[in-house]
Amino acid sequence: MSVDPISAALAPLIRNALISRAASLARKGSYTEAENLLAAETGGKVEHPSVLDLLARIKAQQGKLFEAEELWTKASRMEPGNPEYQAGLRRISQIRKRGFSRRSLLTSTTAVCGVLVLLAAGIFLKIRFTESGVRNETVSGKVGGSYADGIPASATGVLQSIVLDIPGGIVTKRNSGFDITFEYGLFSSKVRLKGKAKKSIAALARRLEPYKERISITVIGHADSNPVPDGAYFRDNMSLSLARAVAVIESMRSAASLPSGIFLATGYGEYSPPYSNRTRNERLRNRSVTIKISAQGTNPTLP
């Protein structure tokens, strides 16, 4: 099959323009838009190492280290000896080694371990988990003691269908959805969840599982007002609070079949806490998160 010489000559220019546009979106934090642009233009079949490299960088920025490693490995096979691809692979290797060396901070998944190391270095202020395909289908399941048969697709309908009664949880209904705070601090120290916190989070995850095709979940990490000591694992309370949000998301996903694409993690540090920081008890209660449940396609109200 012959190839049009003009098309062949334009292909590199088109590809470079595509990569430039996608890179611009990624720099602004619009990772999903950047990925969608690349997928639309390549038909979902990426065959050029420079596109693989950009996708790997996006995945690494999102904390998806295994996917980033696969993409850089594939790019390296296409273009052996490229120093940028090798540098990306070395960074991931270093992150893993550093993460596993900190026993006190190991969590249930290696992905979180890698993300925690990135947070400790102050690399992230927010992690957006990439969206997965949303199927237009009816979901049925037992929720809050009653059956939600045929969950409505509309935003109002799905929120009205959800019944939340979480041990230790305080549920506040807002126009944009539900806000869930907790009566006690979820973390005993740093990012280590208490036993009862794991049970509460698991109960919430199971309640939300039947609605996973219709909702978005934003987890906001908090910290008390005590400054992080010099030389501590986390650079500041902002990094610590974001790590707590990630830990809660992973705990929810380990308890129920919830896709990563419905989650957004962010951290507020010592700012906008659920409780005042006047007393020691209130500071302990602020070692926690706020979980916001909203309908897909709507934006939760953030403090």
234 plus 275 within the same structural domain: yes
Q: Order of strands across the sheet with 215-221?
A: 126-128, 263-267, 215-221, 289-295, 177-182, 169-174
Give the per-residue pLDDT at 95: 62
Cβ atoms of 224 and 277 within 8 Å: the answer is yes
Q: For residue 147, what are its two tokens?
A: 């059956």
Ranges of the chain with pLDDT below 70: 1-18, 28, 40-46, 63, 95-156, 299-303
Residue 117 within a domain: no
List the domain range (segments joined by +) for residue 35. Answer: 5-101
Q: For residue 62, what are its two tokens?
A: 């999102």
245 plus 137 within the same structural domain: yes
Give the per-residue pLDDT at 208: 93
180 plus 51 within the same structural domain: no
Residue 118 within a domain: no
Tell me, what CATH number does 271's domain have?
3.30.1330.60
Tokens 């694992």, located at residue: 233
CA dist., res. 88 & res. 219, Å (int): 29
CA dist., res. 222 & res. 247, Å (int): 12
Residue 63 within a domain: yes
Cβ atoms of 126 and 302 within 8 Å: the answer is no
Number of domains making up the chain: 2
283 plus 134 within the same structural domain: yes
CA dist., res. 68 & res. 55, Å (int): 7
Cβ atoms of 251 and 198 within 8 Å: the answer is yes
Q: Which pTM value belongs to this model?
A: 0.54
Q: Which of 66, 82, 101 delimits the end of a domain?
A: 101
Residue 302 within a domain: no
19 plus 60 within the same structural domain: yes
Residue 251 within a domain: yes
Cβ atoms of 11 and 19 within 8 Å: the answer is no
Residue 119 within a domain: no
25 plus 148 within the same structural domain: no
Cα dihedral 29, 296, 38, 64 in deg (nearest 10): 60
286 plus 148 within the same structural domain: yes
141 plus 86 within the same structural domain: no
Residue 153 within a domain: yes
Residue 301 within a domain: no
244 plus 186 within the same structural domain: yes
96 plus 133 within the same structural domain: no
Give the per-residue pLDDT at 256: 94
Give the per-residue pLDDT at 135: 24
Indicate the average pLDDT of the chain: 73
